[in-house]
């Protein structure tokens, strides 16, 4: 089963940074008492940065999907293969059981002779 890593991945870091950057950029004109032209320039820059990050995040998600598909393809076990594996394991257990039974029978015969 595929599990996601627990570490902070670059795609999540980029999402958190763009959200933080957007909030700071939106508050900056009001806090710095800027004129409307400067405010428009800052917001346009935030929009361009956000679109670049969104494009990058979409590519990252497609890459994750491809990696997951490849992982599933490589690690897929056909039901027939699984049955064959189980039969081999059971045959091995059966052979060990027969060997142990023969050993116990032999020991019992040795004890009976004494």
**Which one, of 105, 18, 100, 2, lies nearest residue 53 by Cα?**
18
pLDDT digits (tens, 9 = 90+) for 19-37: 787 778 777 777 777 777 7
Global pTM?
0.42
Under a CB-based contact definition with an 8 Å cutoff, are residues 18 and 56 in contact?
no
25 closest CA partner among 44, 49, 51, 43: 43
For 93-106, what is each residue's pLDDT tens digit? 777 777 788 888 88
């Amino acid at each position: 089963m595929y599990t996601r890593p627990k570490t902070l991945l670059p795609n999540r870091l980029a999402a958190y940074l763009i959200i933080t950057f957007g909030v700071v950029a939106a508050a900056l004109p009001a806090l710095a008492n800027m004129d409307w032209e400067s405010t428009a320039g800052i917001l346009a820059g935030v929009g361009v940065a956000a679109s670049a990050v969104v494009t990058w995040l979409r590519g990252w998600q497609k890459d994750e999907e491809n990696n997951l598909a490849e992982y599933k393809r490589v690690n897929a076990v056909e039901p027939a293969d699984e049955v064959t594996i189980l039969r081999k394991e059971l045959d091995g257990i059966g052979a060990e059981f027969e060997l142990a039974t023969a050993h116990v029978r032999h020991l019992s015969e040795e004890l009976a002779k004494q």
